[in-house]
A and B are shown apart, each in its own frame.
Chain A
Amino acid sequence: MKLQTKFNLGIIIIFVVLAVSIGSLSVWYVNSNTIREAKNRVSIYTRAAWEIHDSRVARIQAALEVLARTQSVEEILEHQGDQQRLRATQEEFERIRQEQAMDVLNVLAPDGTVIIRTRYPYSAGDNLASDPIVQQVIAEEQPSSGNIIFAQERLGTAGEGMVERALAVGQEPRGMFAGAAVPVMRDGRMVGILQMGMLLNGAVEEVDRIRDAVFENETYKGKPVGTATIFMEDLRISTNVLDNQGRRAVGTRVSREVAEQVLERGEPWTGRAYVVDTWYLSQYDPIRNPNGEIIGMLYVGELEQKYLDIRRRAVALFLSVVLAGMLVAFLTFYYLTRGIVKPVGELSHATQLLSRGELAYRVDVDRNDEIGDLASSFNTMAQRLETQRREIEQNQRRLKELNDELRTTNRNYMEMLGFVSHELKNPLSSAMMSLHTVKDGYLGDLTEAQEDSLASVAQSLEYFEDMVKNYLDLSRLEKGELEAHAQDVTVCRQVIEPVLEGLEQSLKEKGMHVVNKVPEDLVVYADGHLLRIVYDNLLSNAIKYGEESGTIELGVSTDEDEVTLSVFNEGQGIPAGKMPQLFKKFSRLDSPEHSKEKGTGLGLYICREIVEEHGGEIWADSEEGEWVRFSFTLPNQTRRSDNA
């Protein structure tokens, strides 16, 4: 993985972790904040709703207190039998009730017996002392107000249309009233009771007033932000929540959970409530009658959507700030790491090129930090490597030139040597001829001194002849002309016999005798010509250094891998100390006591080169003063043939 990728991946992982934690933290924070805020607000709205409702009831009470002091109330209570006056008061009070938009306005006797009802059919004579409000007025002779529930027969006697209105909401024949009752006092004595109230079942004014006062008719996305509902026990009897058809959603009942908490335990319930088709943040407060008994609930709800949207906007804002911050941080980080990674990549690339031998490459990093130091060190290193390589190449070239020169010189030398040797052969032949013609007495008898002198010349010429022959071989050998062209060679017929024939005269002169133990049919895989050179050299040595009238023995032994050929002669042998130099160029067998015979120092070297060219070995064994045996190996012929 590339360094930049690693950095990017690392920072992305860090940012993702950060974003997730900051994001969830912020969502949680916004959530809890807005919900707490919403709950606070809904509880404030509820208190406001109560204020509005209570002030309404208080106004009813205030109106009754004013009415209780009027002349007509006093008169009607004093003259209860006066039907005319009764009717007049009833008409007047009915008008007042209607002006006040009230459903009930009754005049009662101090014991709660109805004297006047202001609603058709104006029934009277029944007793309302069990009404909790009236009950309180009778007991304390003080005004009283609140909410109460009318049972069905009470509702029926209250006047025309009351039961119908109640039944229209959830088939409930009872009704909830909000109202007040005040004592009518004369000379410190209660002479009657005035009672006024409104039926809340199916009514809209009260809830709309609450809503308008609390929420000021605010709407959100076409929906009123706030709603208010009054429950009689668990039944919605008055609301401004609209159902799917746009009607006021009354007649339904509250959830079991809310009913238990509010109606049974008397505790307010605050939370999200799903009403009709959307969520409200709501509070349900118990409604109690003047005796403290729970008779219903006041509900205030605020559209949750508003808060959700606020929350969503807040979260979105929060997250976008976080993301923007991260983006800036990431770009900064990327720019910073890029500043490291790019030159490191460049250096890495340059190092690769360097390792491939492109020493001329330089990195282009101009910085004042550690990376800049690294780059300049790299360049210095590359520069030095390049300089060194150039020097090495120059040296190599010079060496090669010198080597070529040497080789050419050597080749020229060898060619010249070969040419000279070759050219020397003919004059040598005629010199030998002339010498021997004289020495052998063809041109007249010689004195002993003359003969000795000529013998010395003859020996020099023979040495000369050897030298010419060996130098010729050597020059060919070093020019690479004597490469082994191996084929099957019958050793006796093709090698030993021709060589012996050439040496016949020398053998005869020294009176030496050759015993050839090599089988007639021995065949080796070798170059016949080169093999003859080997035998010629070894036999010439044997004749030269062997004992006069001695025996030369040509031997052979064969095993699975190789054929060992040998030339044995009696004679001085070779001192052990001289063995290591034996096959080196210009090494000589002759010793001071043996100075009569002189070697060129090349014969055995040529032999070794030839034998090794065939993949064999050559060596000598000797018993000093007794005998010497030269042996060399050739790979076994049958094996070579099989492989070929």
Chain B
Amino acid sequence: MPEKKGKIVVVDDDVQLVESVTTLLESVGYEVFSAYRAEKGFDLAKEKQPDLILLDVMFAGPPGPDGFEISRRIKKDHDLKDTPVVMLSGVKKVLELGYEVTPDDDFMPVEAFIDKPVKPERLLAAIDEALESQE
């Protein structure tokens, strides 16, 4: 097991993805906590106080807040407002957004936005970059 690099909370409704991402992140030394619904993710983050939150946008199942909403809550939260958030989503394809999705302080105050599917190299690079920007 490599040295502990930090805590990451992964919030995504896709169990398989959460598992593969968890495997990857743990393999490079992160401690990973996961949640499958947006609100649960927020609660988990409050509880674990992670170094970074990896957040999906759209969640299947009963209606509730989406990833954008949670990202705004995080930035307003006293304990979490300095925690970097990386969005990992297929929403860009689903919404057929033609332009580059860039973080926006009002709508989705996050550090990075990554399209699904993503290869490990790029995901890790984005996480590193987000953590560095926070220091």
Cβ–Cβ < 8 Å partners of B99 in chain A: 493-494, 498
B14 proximity list for chain A (CB < 8 A): 426-427, 429-430
Assess whether A434 is in contact with B98, with CB atoms less than 8 Å apart.
Answer: no
Q: Across the interface, do A498 and B24 meet the contact criterion of CB distance under 8 Å?
A: no
Asked if A440 and B121 make an inter-chain contact with CB atoms under 8 angstroms apart, the answer reads: yes
Number of A-B pairs, beta carbon distance below 8 Å:
76
With both chains docked as a complex, state the minimum distance between the C-beta of A616 and any C-beta of chain B, in angstroms: 19
> Residues of B contacting A425 with CB < 8 Å?
90, 93, 116-117
Chain B minimum-CB-distance residue to A505 = B119
CB contacts (< 8 Å) of B119 on chain A: these are: 432-433, 436, 440, 505
Do B23 and A437 have beta carbons less than 8 Å apart? yes
28 A-B interface contacts by CB (under 8 A): A425-B116, A425-B117, A426-B90, A427-B14, A429-B17, A429-B90, A429-B118, A430-B14, A431-B16, A432-B117, A433-B17, A433-B21, A433-B119, A433-B120, A434-B23, A437-B23, A437-B27, A437-B120, A440-B119, A440-B120, A442-B27, A493-B99, A495-B98, A497-B100, A498-B99, A501-B100, A505-B122, A529-B96
Number of interface residues of B (CB under 8 A): 25
A587 and B98 CA atoms in complex are apart in Å by: 28
Whether the pair A442, B120 counts as a contact (CB closer than 8 A) is yes
User: Counting CB contacts under 8 A, is B77 at the interface?
Assistant: no
CA distance in complex: A432, B88 (Å)? 14
Contacting residues of chain A (401-440) with chain B, CB-CB under 8 angstroms: 425-434, 436-437, 440
| Residue contact A430 to B27, C-beta cutoff 8 Å | no
Tell me which of A427, A431, A433 contacts B118 (CB under 8 A).
Answer: A433
Secondary structure at the A interface, as helix, strand, loop or mixed, is helix
Residues of A contacting B23 with CB < 8 Å? Answer: 434, 437, 443
Question: Is B98 a contact partner of A494 (Cβ separation < 8 A)?
Answer: yes
Residue in chain B with minimal CB distance to A458 = B119
* 0/1 interface trace, chain B 23-55, chain A, CB 8 Å (1 if under): 110011000000000000000000000000000
Asked if B79 is an interface residue, CB under 8 A from chain A, the answer is no
By Cβ-Cβ distance, the 7 closest A-B pairs, closest first, are: A430-B16, A434-B20, A429-B117, A430-B17, A433-B20, A442-B27, A437-B24
Closest to B88 in A: A429
Which residues of chain A have C-beta atoms less than 8 A from B128's C-beta?
none
Measured CA separation A502–B23 after assembly (Å):
25
A143 within 8 A of B: no
Contacts from A to B (Cβ < 8 Å): 425-434, 436-437, 440, 442-443, 465, 493-495, 497-498, 501-502, 505, 528-529, 532
A431 to B16, CA, bound (A): 8
| A433 B115 Cβ-Cβ under 8 A | no
Judged by a CB distance under 8 angstroms, whether B129 is at the interface is no
Task: Supply 15 further A-B pairs (C-beta < 8 A) apart from A498-B100, A502-B115.
Answer: A425-B93, A427-B14, A432-B119, A433-B21, A434-B20, A434-B24, A436-B120, A436-B121, A437-B20, A440-B119, A494-B98, A494-B99, A495-B98, A497-B100, A528-B98
Q: How far is the CB of B13 from chain A (nearest CB, A)?
A: 9
- A430–B13 Cα distance when bound, in Å, is 12
Residues from chain B with a CB closer than 8 A to the CB of A429 are: 14, 17, 90, 116-118
Q: Are B17 and A426 in contact (CB under 8 A)?
A: yes
Taking a contact as CB atoms under 8 Å apart, the answer to whether A433 and B98 are in contact is no
Interface assignment of B19: CB less than 8 Å from any CB of chain A: yes
Considering the chains assembled together, what is the distance between the CA atoms of A429 and B117 in angstroms? 5
CB-CB nearest in chain B for A443: B27
The A-contacting residues of B in range 118-135, CB under 8 angstroms, are 118-123
In the bound complex, what is the Cα–Cα distance between A427 and B90 (angstroms)?
12
Q: When chains A and B are docked, how far (Å) is the Cα of A446 from the Cα of B19?
A: 21
- Shortest Cβ distance from residue B40 to the other chain A in the assembled complex, whole angstroms: 19
Nearest CB in chain B to that of A433: its residue: B20
Cα A493 to Cα B16 with chains together (Å): 35
Max chain B Cβ within 10 angstroms of own Cβ: one of A433, A443, A493, A494: A433
Contact check, A433 vs B117: say whether CB atoms are below 8 A apart.
yes
Interface centre among A429, A442, A494 (most CB of B within 10 A): A429
Kindly list chain A residues whose C-beta atoms are within 8 Å of the C-beta of B28: 442
- Minimal Cβ-Cβ distance residue in B for A499: B98
Residues of chain A contacted by B100 (CB below 8 angstroms): 497-498, 501
Q: How far is the CB of B77 from chain A (nearest CB, A)?
A: 29
CB distance from B135 to the nearest CB of A (A): 24
B17 — which chain A residues lie within 8 A by C-beta? 426, 429-430, 433
Q: Which residue of A is nearest B60, CB measured? A: A426
Verify B24–A433 contact, CB threshold 8 A: yes
